C-alpha cells in the first residue's frame, strides 16, 4: 500500500516517457490520474489507520517495528564488512500519526499541483516527468523509516526541483534554482555524516547488528555507550544535533537560512510554489520531529529556549518582511516564513499542546498557503504582474475571486473559525504553559498583529477602493451599463474559471471545516504526539541513565 502510494507517480512518469511529447493532454491526464489514485490510496490508508497506536518508537522487547502501521519491511542491502560488522539497509516504510498527516497533505497538494500545472505549455512532457519524480520523493520522505532510505528520497527531491524552477521559472530563475540547490545540499551533506555516525552508534535490538532503522534509533537504549554518537560522547551528540537541526532548518526555512525561499518562490511557476510551500517546507519540521529531536532528546531539552527564540524571530521577522513587500508573491513567501515560525515555537514548547499545534499548523499551513499561492497565480495569469499597488477595487469586478481571497487571507491571519486559528492557538497554549518558552511566546504574539497588518493591508489595497490610475487593467463600460475591467491579453474568464474553482473550493472547504471541527486531524495525531513528548521528556532520559 505505502509502496504503491510512493511509486505511483514514478510509474506515471515512465508511462509519460513513452507518450510522444505532442500528446500534451494525455500526459496531463496520466499525471492527474496518478495523483488522484494517490489521493484515493491516502484516503484508504486514513480509513484503515488506527489512531490509538502511537508509533514514534518501539517498546523494549516489543516488535522491532513498534506500533507503526502499514509496515513494509524488506532487507535491501546486506553486506558483510568484516571487522566492522555488517552493513544493513532496509526498505522500511510505515506510518504513524506524524507521517499520516503529512501523507494526506502530500496527496492533496499533489492533486492540486497537477491541476494548477494544466496551463503550462512549455516542454509539457519533461515538466510532468520531473513533477512526478518530485511527488514520489516527497511521499517517500514521509513514509521512510530507514534513515538511508529517507536520505535517498530527501536528496532525490533536489534535482527535479532545480529543473522545475530553473526551466519553467521566471526571469531570474537560474539564480533561484541554484541557490535552492546549494542551500539544501549544504544542509543535507551534514545529515549524511550524522547518518553514518548514527549507524555506527546504534544496534538493532533483535539482531544486534548496526542499523539505519529510525525506529531503533529513536530508543536511547539501542545506542552503544562509547560509540561516536553514543550517550557518553556528549560533545559529538551536541554537534550532530546542531548540524542536523541546521539541515532541517534550511528546509523550514528558519532565519538566518531562509533567504533561498523568497527567491525560489518568486521565480517558481505557480504549481511549484504550491508544492514548495505546501509540502516541501513541512519536510524540514517533519525531519525535526521524526529524526532530529527523538534521536537526541537530551540535546533537544537543552536547546528548547534557543529553538523558541529562533521560532519567534521567524514569526516576527517574516511578518515584518512581508509587510514591506510590493510583490504579492514575495509577501506570501515571507508569510510562509512567519507561519513556519509558529511550528518551531510549538515544537520548542515540548508539551502535547505545543507539539499538536505544531503538527496541525504544518497541515493547515500546507492547505492555506497552497490557496494563497494559487490565488496569486490566478491574478498573475491575468495581469502579468504581482505588484500590489497595480490593483485596486478588484472586489467589485471579480467578486468570487475576492471571496476566496478573503477566506484564504483570513485563514492565514488566524481568524477564529478557520483552521489556522486552532493550530496557532494550540501553539500559544503550549508555549505559554512551558516555563522555558513563556517569555518568547509573549513576544511572538506580536507576530499575529503584524500578520494581520500585512494581510489586511494588501487586501485593502488590492480589492477595496477604486481602480488606480496605473493599474494593470482597463476599465470599460459594458453594454449593460455596468463597469467591467479588462486585462490586456487575457482571453479567459475574468473571474475564477472552473479549473481554478476545482482547486480552490475543496481547499477552502477543508480550511473552514477544520477550523470548526478539527478532530479528524487532531484525533489522528494526538496519540503519536503524546508518545513523542514522552520520548523527549527529561524524566525518561534520567530513568535511562
Partner 1 sequence: MFELPSGAEIQSIIATLKTGVGFFIPEIYLSVLFMLLIVIDLMVKGRKNNLLSAVTALGLAGAFYFIYQQHLLEAGEIFFGMYVLDEFALFFKYFFVLSGILAVLVSVADDQLNRQVRSIGEYYALIVAMVIGMIMMASSADLLMMFLSMELVGLTAYVLTGYLKNDPRSAEGALKYLVYGAVSSGLMVYGFSLIYGLTAETNIMKISAELALHGYDPLVMMLASLLILAGFGYKIGAVPFHFWSPDVYEGAPTPVTAYLSVGSKAAGFAVLMRFFYVAIPHGGEPFQDIAGMDWLSLLIVISIASMIYGNVVALWQKNVKRLLAYSSIAHAGYALLGIIAMDELGTQATLFYLLGYLLMNIGAFYVVILISNRTGSENLEDYRGLGRKMPLAGAALTVFLISLVGLPPTIGFIGKLMIFSALLAKGSVFIWLALIGVLTSVISLYYYMLIPLNMYLRESQQPDEGKEATGMVHQIGIAVLMILTIYFGLFFKPLLDFAKISSSMLGMTIY
Rounded CA Rg of the chain: 23
Q: Any contact of residue 174 with partner 1 (CB under 8 A)?
A: yes
The least CB distance from residue 345 to partner 1, in Å, is 30
- H helices of 119-233, in order, are 124-143, 147-156, 158-168, 173-201, 214-217
Burial state string for 337-375 with b = 16 or more CB within 10 A and e = fewer than 16: bbbbbbbbbbbbbbbbbbbbbbbbbbbbbbbbbbbbbbb
In 10 A of CB 114, how many CB atoms?
27
**150-169 binders of partner 1 (CB under 8 A):** 151-152, 155-156, 158-159, 162-163, 166-167
The least CB distance from residue 285 to partner 1, in Å, is 22
Going from the C-alpha of 66 to that of each of 58, 61, 165, 521, the distances in angstroms are 4, 10, 39, 22
Rounded Cα distance between 163 and 10, Å, is 17
**453-472 binders of partner 1 (CB under 8 A):** none
- Contacts (Cβ under 8 Å, ≥6 apart) of 397: 483, 484, 485, 494
The least CB distance from residue 239 to partner 1, in Å, is 8
Of 176 and 216, the one with the shorter C-beta distance to partner 1 is 176
The least CB distance from residue 174 to partner 1, in Å, is 5
Can you tell me which of 84, 456, 516, 544 binds partner 1, judged by CB under 8 A?
Answer: 84
Q: Any contact of residue 189 with partner 1 (CB under 8 A)?
A: yes
Q: Any contact of residue 246 with partner 1 (CB under 8 A)?
A: no
Q: Any contact of residue 259 with partner 1 (CB under 8 A)?
A: no
The least CB distance from residue 398 to partner 1, in Å, is 34
The least CB distance from residue 17 to partner 1, in Å, is 10
Strands (E), 459-500: 473-477, 483-487
Of 81 and 539, the one with the shorter C-beta distance to partner 1 is 81
Q: Any contact of residue 181 with partner 1 (CB under 8 A)?
A: yes
Q: Any contact of residue 123 with partner 1 (CB under 8 A)?
A: yes
Beta strands 69-80 and 483-487: pairing type? unpaired
Rounded Cα distance between 170 and 283, Å, is 25
Cis bond before residue 37 (omega within 30° of 0): no
Of 11 and 196, the one with the shorter C-beta distance to partner 1 is 196
Give the residue carrying C-alpha cell 529513536. Answer: 218
Rounded Cα distance between 213 and 65, Å, is 9
The least CB distance from residue 245 to partner 1, in Å, is 16
The least CB distance from residue 183 to partner 1, in Å, is 9
* Binding map of partner 1 across residues 367-406, x = CB under 8 A, - = no contact: ----------------------------------------
Q: Any contact of residue 121 with partner 1 (CB under 8 A)?
A: no
Rounded Cα distance between 536 and 152, Å, is 26
Q: Any contact of residue 521 with partner 1 (CB under 8 A)?
A: no
Of 131 and 426, the one with the shorter C-beta distance to partner 1 is 131
Of 237 and 467, the one with the shorter C-beta distance to partner 1 is 237
How many alpha carbons fall within 13 Å on the CB side of residue 295?
32
Q: Any contact of residue 15 with partner 1 (CB under 8 A)?
A: no
Interface stretch with partner 1, choices 4-12, 28-36, 83-91, 506-514 (CB under 8 A):
83-91
Output the nine-digit C-alpha cell for 63.
516488535
The least CB distance from residue 166 to partner 1, in Å, is 5
Q: Do 402 and 395 touch, CB atoms closer than 8 A?
A: yes
Q: Do 451 and 413 touch, CB atoms closer than 8 A?
A: yes
Rounded Cα distance between 131 and 477, Å, is 43
The least CB distance from residue 133 to partner 1, in Å, is 11
Residues of this chain that interact with partner 1 (CB under 8 A) are: 77-84, 87, 123, 151-152, 155-156, 158-159, 162-163, 166-167, 173-174, 177-178, 181-182, 185-186, 189-190, 192-193, 196-197, 199-200, 228, 233, 236
Amino acid at each position: 500500500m505505502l509502496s504503491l502510494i510512493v511509486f505511483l507517480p514514478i510509474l506515471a512518469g515512465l508511462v509519460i516517457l513513452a507518450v510522444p511529447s505532442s500528446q500534451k493532454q494525455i500526459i496531463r491526464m496520466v499525471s492527474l490520474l496518478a495523483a488522484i489514485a494517490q489521493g484515493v490510496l491516502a484516503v484508504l490508508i486514513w480509513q484503515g489507520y488506527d489512531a490509538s497506536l502511537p508509533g514514534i518508537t518501539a517498546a523494549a522487547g516489543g516488535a522491532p517495528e513498534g506500533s507503526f502501521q502499514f509496515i513494509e519491511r524488506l532487507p535491501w542491502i546486506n553486506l558483510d564488512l568484516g571487522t566492522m560488522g555488517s552493513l544493513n539497509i532496509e526498505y522500511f516504510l510505515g506510518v504513524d500519526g506524524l507521517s499520516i498527516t503529512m501523507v494526506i497533505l502530500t496527496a492533496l497538494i499533489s492533486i492540486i499541483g497537477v491541476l494548477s500545472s494544466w496551463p503550462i505549455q512549455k516542454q509539457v512532457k519533461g515538466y510532468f516527468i520531473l513533477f512526478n519524480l518530485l511527488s514520489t520523493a516527497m511521499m517517500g520522505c514521509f513514509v521512510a523509516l530507514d534513515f538511508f532510505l529517507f536520505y535517498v528520497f530527501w536528496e532525490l527531491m533536489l534535482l527535479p526541483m532545480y529543473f522545475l524552477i530553473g526551466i519553467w521559472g521566471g526571469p531570474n530563475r537560474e539564480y533561484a534554482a541554484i541557490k535552492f540547490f546549494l542551500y539544501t545540499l549544504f544542509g543535507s551533506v551534514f545529515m549524511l555524516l550524522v547518518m553514518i555516525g548514527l549507524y555506527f552508534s546504534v544496534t538493532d535490538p533483535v539482531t544486534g547488528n548496526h542499523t539505519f532503522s529510525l525506529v531503533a534509533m529513536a530508543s536511547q537504549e539501542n545506542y552503544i555507550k562509547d560509540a561516536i554518537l553514543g550517550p557518553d560522547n556528549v560533545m559529538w551528540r551536541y554537534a550532530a544535533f546542531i548540524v542536523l537541526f541546521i539541515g532541517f532548518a534550511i528546509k523550514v526555512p528558519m532565519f538566518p537560512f531562509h533567504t533561498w525561499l523568497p527567491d525560489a518562490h518568486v521565480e517558481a511557476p505557480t504549481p511549484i510554489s504550491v508544492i514548495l510551500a505546501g509540502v516541501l517546507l513541512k519536510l524540514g519540521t517533519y525531519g525535526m520531529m521524526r529524526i532530529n529531536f527523538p534521536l537526541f532528546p537530551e540535546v533537544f531539552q537543552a536547546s528548547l529556549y534557543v529553538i523558541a527564540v529562533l521560532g519567534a524571530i521567524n514569526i516576527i521577522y517574516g511578518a515584518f518582511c512581508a509587510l514591506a513587500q510590493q510583490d504579492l508573491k514575495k509577501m506570501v513567501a515571507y508569510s510562509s516564513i512567519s507561519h513556519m515560525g509558529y511550528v518551531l515555537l510549538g515544537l520548542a514548547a515540548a508539551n502535547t499542546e505545543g507539539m499538536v499545534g505544531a503538527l496541525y499548523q504544518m497541515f493547515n499551513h500546507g492547505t492555506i498557503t497552497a490557496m494563497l499561492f494559487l490565488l496569486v497565480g490566478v491574478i498573475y495569469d491575468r495581469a502579468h504582474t504581482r505588484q500590489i499597488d497595480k490593483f485596486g477595487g478588484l472586489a467589485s469586478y471579480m467578486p468570487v475571486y475576492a471571496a476566496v481571497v478573503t477566506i484564504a487571507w483570513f485563514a492565514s491571519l488566524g481568524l477564529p473559525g478557520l483552521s489556522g486559528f486552532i493550530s496557532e492557538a494550540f501553539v500559544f497554549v503550549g508555549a505559554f504553559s512551558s516555563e522555558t518558552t513563556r517569555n518568547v511566546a509573549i513576544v511572538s504574539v506580536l507576530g499575529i498583529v503584524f500578520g494581520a497588518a500585512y494581510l489586511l493591508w494588501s487586501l485593502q489595497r488590492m480589492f477595496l477602493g477604486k481602480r488606480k490610475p496605473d493599474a494593470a487593467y482597463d476599465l470599460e463600460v459594458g453594454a449593460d451599463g455596468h463597469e467591467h475591467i479588462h486585462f490586456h491579453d487575457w482571453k479567459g474568464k475574468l473571474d475564477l474559471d472552473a479549473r481554478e474553482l476545482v482547486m480552490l473550493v475543496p481547499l477552502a472547504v477543508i480550511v473552514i471545516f477544520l477550523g470548526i471541527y478539527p478532530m479528524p486531524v487532531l484525533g489522528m495525531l494526538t496519540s503519536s504526539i503524546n508518545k513523542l513528548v514522552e520520548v523527549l521528556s527529561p524524566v525518561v532520559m534520567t530513568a535511562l541513565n
